[in-house]
């Protein structure tokens, strides 16, 4: 704790964080407790657990959670820990079960977490050994979990996200591919990179075909009136389509952002060619709906386009390593080879993701050097990085 106090004291507002925040494994352990076991985390997609018994697991530091659909349709989150001798209960990333059976001694749990049967247990009451549950919420096809017994408010984020994301019908979607990456960088390096588009012109030729490098909170560059005019006109058009565009950006220092941004002329979606890559997911007469941006600190961002949605989930492994899952969703009834090709849907974001991870690894290598000193952030282009750092420091010091 002393090292943390010293680190916090050595932080200068407007600059990047001192080195120890990125490299110190003790700080990492504190983050797992103060942030990843306390905040809402993006867990996955409703369509992956649409049917009773469908589940997936989510690793969070030394924790693991099973997200599973109960028989009555209720979504549940259980800690992935058997109440007998503590074995991991679900060993796979995802599956479909009638009951949860521990692979060690065969204790059987119902989907709601109650213990149904335990062999050769004398003077024993199953009722006393339910799985430990965690908080879980679904909003417009996205699932969030919180490991804290006192989860933060989810009413306000749900109210902001639902009206804007519901038209994309993610509950009726399917995941067509998941790309998993192991990135040799601290998770904050990856979040910081996501929170600015200062690097986009330099690093992301495919992304820049469809996108402006504008629209991030705090970016009040003069001379960017072209983007502002385009966005104002698009907002009016989207309103008539019932898409309720409304920028909600980390309200009161909160953890989430949702905003619909226009794409460049000639681009209906974030594709290499501007055309749709899959059948429309949004049921509107005008397909020019831009791209809905979602951010959830500390582990999520996504872009909902008219034809596909991309979600990125960040899972810290250690101070030096991060797992990242990028998923692509299209309409459930779309047929591969006829309605879409995975490589076409994923083209822009596969290129952009690979570029980002490479940037982050090189950034992190420099952060680990003896020559690293906190650097100045641009007040316009990196305002959102500063906002992320402030949010992060509040979580770390509010405990
Ligand atoms: Fe699960 Fe023994 S540890 S049944
Ligand atoms: Fe990037």
Smallest-distance ligand from the CA of 363: 2
* Protein residue whose Cα sits closest to atom 2 of ligand 1: 105
User: Which of 79, 87, 131, 132 is the best mutation target for the ligand 1 pocket, counting ligand atoms within 8 Å of the beta carbon and taking the most?
Assistant: 87
**pLDDT at position 341:** 98
Going by their DSSP bridges, the two strands 94-96 and 108-109 should be labelled as unpaired
Q: Let me know: does 324 contact 181? Beta carbons within 8 Å.
A: yes
Predicted local distance difference test score (pLDDT) of residue 246? 86
- The pLDDT value recorded for residue 222 is 60
Number of H helices, E strands in the chain: 10, 17
Which of the ligands is closest to the CA of residue 85?
A: 1
* Separation of alpha carbons 282 and 162, rounded Å: 14
Residue identifier of the C-alpha nearest atom 4 of ligand 1: 105
Distance 129 CA to ligand 1 centre (A): 12
* Number of the ligand closest to the Cα of 103: 1
* Structural contact between residues 294 and 300, judged by C-beta atoms closer than 8 angstroms: yes
Q: What is the mean pLDDT of each run of 10 residues along the chain (399 residues)?
A: 84 97 96 97 98 97 96 98 98 98 98 97 96 98 97 97 97 97 98 96 96 83 77 94 91 95 96 98 96 98 98 97 98 98 98 98 98 96 96 92
* Beta pairing, strands 321-331 & 309-318: antiparallel
Does residue 104 have its Cβ closer than 6 Å to ligand 1?
yes
pLDDT, position 2: 67
Distance from the alpha carbon of residue 108 to the mean position of ligand 1, in angstroms: 9
The verdict on the CB of residue 85 being under 6 Å from ligand 1 is: yes
Cα–Cα separations (whole angstroms), residue 116 to 20, 57, 75, 128, 333: 48, 21, 19, 11, 37
The pLDDT score that the predictor gives to residue 1 is: 56
What is the DSSP secondary structure assignment for residue 264, as one 8-state letter? P
Picking from 53, 51, 48, the residue whose alpha carbon sits closest to that of residue 98 is 53
* Inter-residue contact 309 to 332 (CB < 8 Å): no
325: left (phi over 0), alpha (psi -120 to 50) or beta: beta
- Please tell me if the CB atom of residue 102 comes closer than 6 angstroms to any atom of ligand 1: yes
For residue 121, the CA-to-ligand 1 centroid distance in Å is 12
Q: pTM for the full model? A: 0.97
Q: Which ligand 1 atom lies nearest to the CA of residue 85? A: 3
**Residue 357 CA, ligand 2 centroid: distance in Å:** 8
pLDDT at 224: 67
Distance CA 203, CA 158 (A): 33
């Amino acid at each position: 704790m002393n090292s943390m106090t010293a680190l916090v004291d050595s932080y200068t507002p407007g600059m990047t964080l001192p080195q120890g925040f990125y490299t110190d494994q003790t700080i990492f352990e504190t983050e797992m407790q103060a942030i990843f076991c306390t905040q809402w985390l993006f867990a996955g997609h409703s369509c992956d657990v649409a049917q009773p018994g469908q589940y997936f697991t989510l690793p969070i530091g030394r924790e693991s959670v099973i997200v599973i659909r109960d028989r009555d349709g209720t979504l549940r989150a259980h800690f992935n820990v058997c109440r007998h001798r503590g074995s991991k209960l679900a060993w796979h990333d995802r599956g479909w079960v009638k009951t949860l059976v521990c692979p060690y001694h065969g204790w059987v749990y119902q989907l709601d977490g109650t213990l149904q049967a335990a062999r050769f247990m004398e003077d024993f009451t199953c009722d006393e050994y339910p799985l430990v549950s965690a908080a879980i919420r679904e909003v417009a096809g996205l699932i969030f979990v919180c490991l804290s017994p006192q989860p933060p408010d989810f009413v306000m984020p749900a109210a902001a996200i639902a009206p804007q994301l519901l038209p994309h019908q993610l509950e009726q979607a399917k995941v067509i591919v998941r790309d998993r990456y192991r990135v040799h960088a601290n998770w904050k390096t990856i979040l910081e990179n996501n929170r600015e588009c200062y690097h986009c012109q330099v690093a992301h030729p495919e992304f820049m075909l469809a996108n402006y490098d504008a629209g991030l909170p705090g970016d009040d560059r003069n001379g960017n009136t072209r983007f502002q005019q385009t966005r104002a006109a698009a907002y009016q058009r989207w309103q008539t389509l019932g898409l309720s565009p409304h920028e909600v950006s980390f309200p009161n220092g909160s953890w989430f952002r949702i905003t619909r941004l226009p794409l460049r002329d000639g681009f209906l979606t974030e594709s290499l060619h501007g055309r749709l890559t899959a059948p429309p997911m949004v049921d509107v007469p005008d397909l020019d709906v831009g791209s809905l941006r979602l951010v959830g600190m500390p582990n999520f961002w996504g872009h909902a386009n008219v034809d596909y949605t991309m979600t990125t989930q960040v899972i810290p492994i250690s101070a030096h390593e991060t797992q990242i899952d990028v998923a692509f969703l299209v309409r459930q009834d779309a047929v591969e080879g006829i309605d879409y090709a995975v490589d076409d849907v994923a083209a822009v974001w596969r290129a952009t993701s690979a570029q980002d991870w490479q940037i982050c690894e090189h950034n992190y290598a420099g952060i680990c050097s003896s020559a690293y000193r906190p650097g100045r952030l641009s007040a316009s282009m990196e305002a959102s990085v500063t906002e992320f750092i402030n949010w992060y420091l509040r979580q770390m010091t509010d405990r």
